[in-house]
Chain A
């Protein structure tokens, strides 16, 4: 059962998010208010990460496809102990801050994907799940799971209106990417009004048709979300979509449930009223109660232990298998195989004219067989035109017709 402390923590996220948006006088308060509970559940009860090391390779990924809810993500990053000081939250959307309007992965520690153009985060997390399966197939053996991370995501109505999310979701279902748990913030409001004006399809039925495992939860009820996320993580054969019914701008007396909460600051007065409704001190901005802070920061000790334990497993595995050690290190060093340049094809002026895309195909098919592990990270980019890879084990059989 969720506790009073859980509720305090959830409201901490809400208050920080609306304060950030209000101070910037720009941004999207509605999603953080509505999705705080479900994001909180994922981040504190499931996400295996180490805020002290955002580059830990076996961390769970969290992709906020609904990038406009960036203050939700920045609040969580700050609270759980990533290198994102409160000062950055106060500088939301300002010049030279690391808290831009929409999340940028190269800028902010802990941001896994640059998102904002709706639907793109869903595409990204499907790509991450494909990469994860490649890595798992390469490095995991029974009794030795070096690659065990999951991919969590949060998307909005707008994300699921976009074609790219449908394409990516279709592929995820086809490839049975069981590491995905995607929460859908079903708040039924878009920037222009209720989804009823344009978006009345049955999303759950659509994802079921893609081959997804689809669950429903009251997104404002932490316990319900927790049960659903748990079921999602236990499902290994299919990607999971959790339709989380929420209220946009939850807590705002005048804007909750309306498009007015989507993409503009609540206003000073409404911020105060919202805090009052959430039983939060009205006179305080960027306020984090000690108890909540301590609870969030347990992510650091938990994360350090997770990573240390995993490192120990890796050390043992490498000691037992020098081959694995070599392959693992070669892969993560991102070096290209020795001697690869010498193998590249050459043509002479006496050769028949050749289409440059045929020449490209020759390059790909020359390099694919000699590719050592680092090449697998390129496997989906190394499209072979008109036919699949020489070795099916190295790539999903993509082709262009």
Chain B
């Protein structure tokens, strides 16, 4: 379906594509069904809005924006596995129309660390943040449901969300890492999956491939240590 999709993008057609097999969360169906490369392949296609919502409420908002779009297609990247509903009372309100937004601010400013995540990995980032905060690392979590919309924001907004001075950035997404380096910068790190998945229960795969709060904490602390002035 890639040719059809890119022709829709080229022709400015407001088609909505619903992708329902998201990452290694597919689990037992195995690597044949786990599209680890599709996110960046879609994002590399001009004029498609690629939405990867973090929970049910982000999904609704992504649908709303996709339905309002008139000048090109949208892709909704959705999970088969259940995701926790993010508590908007605890965290900041959604700003999907901005493409990316600060979902959880650090307890102290400025933050020492920014965790960037999309889709099912946003809840993981929030859990890791709790531990990091407990260990004294002020941590901001940024949800990035639509990078194309984020790129259209004024520079001022983009710098508010990802201030250039904050070099300790860890992006988390259960797929190819290739495009994230642009967002984490030269001193940042990416927890992704640059190989095909595997056939096993989804939660086992997340664990085996390192998508656990413990591993996020360890990767973040190692990065901070690397970047600390000698």
Contact = CB atoms under 8 A, between A and B. Distances in A.
Interface of A: 104-106, 113-115, 117, 119-120, 123, 164, 334, 336, 341, 344-360, 362-363, 378, 381-383, 385, 400
Contacts of B109: none
B60 A363 contact: yes
Given A356-B79, A357-B80, A362-B56, 20 more contacts: A104-B10, A105-B11, A113-B11, A114-B10, A114-B11, A115-B7, A120-B7, A336-B68, A348-B85, A349-B90, A351-B85, A356-B22, A356-B78, A356-B83, A356-B119, A357-B22, A357-B79, A359-B55, A360-B59, A382-B16
B62 to A, nearest CB: 9
B76 interface: yes
Interface in B1-31: 3-4, 7, 10-12, 15-18, 20, 22
Contacts of A123: 4
B32 interface: no
B20 A363 contact: no
A197 B30 CA distance: 37
A354 B20 contact: no
3 closest residue pairs by CB, A with B: A349-B87, A353-B82, A359-B56
B215 interface: no
B186 interface: no
A108 to B, nearest CB: 11
Contacts of A400: 20
B11 A106 contact: yes
Contact of A347 (B7, B12, B85, B119): B85
Interface of B: 3-4, 7, 10-12, 15-18, 20, 22, 53, 55-60, 63-64, 67-68, 70, 76, 78-90, 119
Contacts, number: 109
B103 to A, nearest CB: 13
A378 B18 CA distance: 12
A355 B18 CA distance: 14
21 contacts: A104-B10, A106-B12, A113-B7, A119-B3, A123-B4, A336-B68, A345-B60, A346-B57, A347-B55, A347-B56, A349-B85, A350-B85, A351-B85, A354-B56, A354-B85, A356-B55, A356-B79, A357-B18, A357-B80, A360-B63, A363-B60
Nearest to A400: B20
Nearest to A352: B82
B163 to A, nearest CB: 29
A133 B90 CA distance: 49
Contacts of A357: 18, 20, 22, 78-80
Given A106-B12, A356-B53, A383-B18, A349 B82 contact: no
Contacts of B18: 357, 360, 381, 383, 385
Given A349-B87, A354-B56, A360 B76 contact: yes
Nearest to B17: A381
Contacts of A356: 22, 53, 55-56, 58-59, 78-79, 83, 119
Given A104-B11, A356-B119, A363-B63, A347 B80 contact: no
Contacts of A385: 18, 20
B21 to A, nearest CB: 9
B216 to A, nearest CB: 19
B83 A120 contact: no
Contacts of B64: 341, 344
Contacts of A117: 3, 7
A304 B11 CA distance: 27
B60 A346 contact: yes
Contacts of B76: 360
Contacts of B83: 353-356
A341 to B, nearest CB: 6
Contact of A164 (B3, B10, B85): B3
A149 to B, nearest CB: 19
Contacts of A349: 84-90
A359 B59 contact: yes
A345 B58 CA distance: 11
Contacts of A354: 55-56, 82-83, 85
A164 B5 CA distance: 13
B87 A355 contact: no
A164 B55 CA distance: 34
Contacts of B119: 356
A362 B64 CA distance: 13
A44 B57 CA distance: 54
Contacts of A105: 11
Given A106-B12, A164-B3, A360 B89 contact: no
A381 B82 contact: no
A330 to B, nearest CB: 16
A378 B16 contact: yes
Contacts of B3: 117, 119-120, 164
